[in-house]
Structure 1
Amino acid sequence: MKNSKLKIQYAKVFIGERERKHINDVLDSGWLTTAKKTLQFEEKFADYIGAKYACAVNSCTAALHLAVDALGIRPGDKVFIPSMTFTSTAEVVRYVGADPVFLDTEYRTNLITPEILEDAVKKYPDVRFLIIVHYGGQAADLTNIIDICNKNNIKIIEDAAHAFPTKHNGRYIGQFGLITCFSFYANKTITTGEGGMLVTDDESIYNRSKIMRLHGINRDIWDRFTSDKPSWEYDVVDAGFKYNLTDLAAAIGLGQLENAELFRKERQKIAEFYYKNLSDIDCIDLPITYGSFEDHAWHLFPIILNENAPISRNKFIELMSDNGIGTSVHYKPLHQMTYYKEKYNLKPDQFPNAEKTWRGNVSLPIYPFMTEDELEYISDVIHEIFGYF
């Protein structure tokens, strides 16, 4: 190999002076939980993507749950969901007693396509909801998917946990559907440690979500404690949840948001390196990217060890780890998970693309400011593993 052994973790967060300044503002304020920094983060995030309203919460799961609640999904309802996603996409449907209807996804994008959705609508004509997942930083074909949904009276929630800042046809994800939910988990494109955001252009959905994120209370509760005038009175108008984002987390988010496009460009450089330097390995299928690289958030770079691979996916991960390189898997599909498999009698042959992906998928490191030496080392190790030296 060209390089001596390096240690490269799978994910790494960049925290700079901007985040520290916002954090110090919160520490100096004497109030650490939800207040003015959270409101500022909401306003700046909504302005960034071009949405009317943003509601900050403590996870994307919370945002998805609030979205399901706001759309009035109830027991007996059915919701289209990709099998190739994280469990939170499906579990929020179960929170309200509704049932997910799992769909296969396109090989090498892990996206629900218009063709997949059209087939599903024919097979399940009674389904009235869809949670579309924008996988890995790439947008699904919203233009055609929204058209199909409108024709079939299907309401859409966008799971954009991977998709900030992602564009579709020149517009940011968050400008299209009724509700879009973002994640700021520790390994996401921007982070608050733990956190999420629900965005919408619908005022009634926003108002419902804002109330339900904090116990069903009908006002900004921090005024009770920070106002210089008596303001203790409030009302509980529904049985809500404890989903608010703290100002400390929002402070980190504000600093991260200021660097969002810089971070995206850095990840794009890494993706371009992988495409250029791994394309000669015939036992690896690289991800398919539609449209401009600049529209892609590049949250993940998932490769698939195909049928030509001389070793298993698990052995590959082990060998990468032996060489100091962290990897991950996105995802073990939900039809393989005990709860969903048993409850809905799911079989692998119902999901041929997800199965083919699952047998070989591995996500490579892709985070801002990786060095040329680190990227060359990763490429060298992969080439050596598959005997390309």
Structure 2
Amino acid sequence: MSKDASTKKRIYLSSPHMSDEGYEQMYVKEAFDTNWVAPLGKNVDEFERELAEKVGSKAAAALSSGTAAIHMALKAAGVGEGDIVFCPTLTFAATANPIIYQNAIPVFIDSDYETWNMSPKALEEAFEKYPNVKAVIVVHLYGLSADMDKIMEICKKHNVAVIEDAAESLGTYYKGKHTGTIGDYGIFSFNGNKIITTSGGGMLVSDNEERINKVRFWSTQSRDKARHYQHSELGFNYRMSNVVAGIGRGQLKVLDQRVEKKRYIFEFYKRELSKLENVEFMPSNEWNDPNYWLSTMILTGKVRPIDIIEALEKENIESRPVWKPMHMQPFFKEYDYIGEDVSEKLFENGICLPSDTKMTDEDLERVCKIIKELWSK
């Protein structure tokens, strides 16, 4: 970033956006006024109830992160040492890491161009090679839903648990149903860059109330009901704090507004940039109603993603490449990968544009102007 650029307004990829109405402060103040600045409490209970009601799930457990929620979902699904878990290769490492926490074995599955998510064709091939699979993790990347009907049909045929990583897709619908509520377990993230945030935190949802109760037990150090401290199972310190949950309750009230703004940003970029040569935006399907968490496009011409990233960076604007596939990561290179090269091509050619819900039309025009200039050179 140049010295001149440092004086220009910073535009973020996706940053926290508190409500104008101050909902978050109201709930946090209540936690302070009652001196309930601790793990658990009224805000945690209500946040679980309100989010479960919002997405149409029977039960929810508020946890310290989306990663913790994936870990607990794997444990709830009975995944243990030596078990095989299918996982999309095109995702963030937080999707795959909990498989290792459980001493299980990840097998990475390729994407398809129709959804950018797990390819049902590659999933079928993976089951042919590995018939004994304990769980399948499906990711809804950048707020785009995977082709869940096909994936669920395959997984039911093989009697395997389905865990939806909906960390990026809260507010996305698949055929009228919230992502995260189609499989056996759903995961949401409230990290600082997500569509709503608690600064850090996650939620596990399921219609299996018994399993959610068990997750609450495990994530509170597996403390048995006894006067003294007694632990009959391995526990984890994964529960959300009452203060953080207060932020989440306030944010949940403006989720629909945030989705509306994310859609506006995507449509603005598409209108302004889709006519550029060799530019293609992330796919849309008739059954998918995305939250457009990040506006993402593919470049197949002389202008490369790094050219845009560096041009924006010089003007104090943040952008990012598409996720680097897990099978290409040094840590995961020893694990099997099923597919062709779709995920690699998406990584090679993809860029995530600034999608911050605080962006003005002037900000969006500034971003588009810089990008267009690269095509005029």
1:89 and 1:135 map into 2 onto residues whose CA distance is: 11
Query: Aligned residue for 1:226?
Result: none
Note the 1:294-305 alignment, pairs <5 A: 295-305=289-299
Q: Quick one: which of 106, 112, 119 aligns to 2:118? A: 112
Q: Which AA in structure 2 matches 1:324?
A: N
1:345 and 1:288 map into 2 onto residues whose CA distance is: 27
Query: Aligned residue for 1:237?
Result: 232
Note the 1:26-37 alignment, pairs <5 A: 26-33=31-38, 34-37=40-43
Q: Do 2:262 and 2:357's aligned partners in 1 also have CA atoms closer than 8 Å?
A: yes
1:7 and 1:64 map into 2 onto residues whose CA distance is: 33
Q: Do 2:79 and 2:134's aligned partners in 1 also have CA atoms closer than 8 Å?
A: no
Query: Aligned residue for 1:284?
Result: 279
Query: Does 1:21 pair with 2:15?
Result: no
Cα drift, residue 345 of structure 1: 6.7
Note the 1:1-389 alignment, pairs <5 A: 6-16=9-19, 17-33=22-38, 34-107=40-113, 109-218=115-224, 235-291=230-286, 295-306=289-300, 308-310=301-303, 312-341=304-333, 343-344=334-335, 351-387=340-376
1:305 and 1:237 map into 2 onto residues whose CA distance is: 54
2:319 and 2:291 map into 1 onto residues whose CA distance is: 19
Q: Secondary structure at the match of 2:45?
A: helix
Q: Do 1:215 and 1:241's aligned partners in 2 also have CA atoms closer than 8 Å?
A: yes
2:305 and 2:368 map into 1 onto residues whose CA distance is: 17
Q: Which AA in structure 1 matches 2:166?
A: A
Q: Do 2:74 and 2:135's aligned partners in 1 also have CA atoms closer than 8 Å?
A: no
1:125 and 1:298 map into 2 onto residues whose CA distance is: 35
Give the 3 Å change call, closer, same or farther, for CA 187–264 of structure 1 in structure 2.
Answer: same
2:45 and 2:341 map into 1 onto residues whose CA distance is: 44
Q: Which AA in structure 2 matches 1:15?
A: M
Q: Do 1:60 and 1:184's aligned partners in 2 also have CA atoms closer than 8 Å?
A: yes
Q: Do 2:115 and 2:147's aligned partners in 1 also have CA atoms closer than 8 Å?
A: no
Q: Do 2:115 and 2:145's aligned partners in 1 also have CA atoms closer than 8 Å?
A: no
Q: Percent identity?
A: 33
Give the 3 Å change call, closer, same or farther, for CA 153–265 of structure 1 in structure 2.
Answer: same
2:121 and 2:163 map into 1 onto residues whose CA distance is: 19
2:143 and 2:315 map into 1 onto residues whose CA distance is: 27
2:279 and 2:251 map into 1 onto residues whose CA distance is: 33
Cα drift, residue 9 of structure 1: 1.9
Q: Which AA in structure 1 matches 2:295?
A: F
Q: Over aligned residue pairs, what C-alpha RMSD do you find?
A: 2.0
Give the 3 Å change call, closer, same or farther, for CA 192–124 of structure 1 in structure 2.
Answer: same
Q: Do 1:103 and 1:351's aligned partners in 2 also have CA atoms closer than 8 Å?
A: no
Q: Do 1:167 and 1:296's aligned partners in 2 also have CA atoms closer than 8 Å?
A: yes
Q: Do 2:174 and 2:287's aligned partners in 1 also have CA atoms closer than 8 Å?
A: no
Q: Which AA in structure 2 matches 1:24?
A: K
Q: Which AA in structure 2 matches 1:56?
A: A
- Structure 1 residue runs of 5 or longer lacking an equivalent are 220-230
* Range with bigger deviation, 313-322 or 72-81: 313-322
Q: Normalising by structure 2, what TM-score?
A: 0.92
Give the 3 Å change call, closer, same or farther, for CA 334–171 of structure 1 in structure 2.
Answer: same
- Structure 2 residue runs of 5 or longer lacking an equivalent are 1-6
Q: Secondary structure at the match of 2:142?
A: coil
Q: Do 1:137 and 1:300's aligned partners in 2 also have CA atoms closer than 8 Å?
A: yes
Q: Do 2:139 and 2:166's aligned partners in 1 also have CA atoms closer than 8 Å?
A: yes
Q: Do 1:211 and 1:217's aligned partners in 2 also have CA atoms closer than 8 Å?
A: yes
2:336 and 2:186 map into 1 onto residues whose CA distance is: 30
Q: Secondary structure at the match of 1:136?
A: helix
Work out the number of aligned pairs and report it. 368
Q: Which AA in structure 2 matches 1:21?
A: M
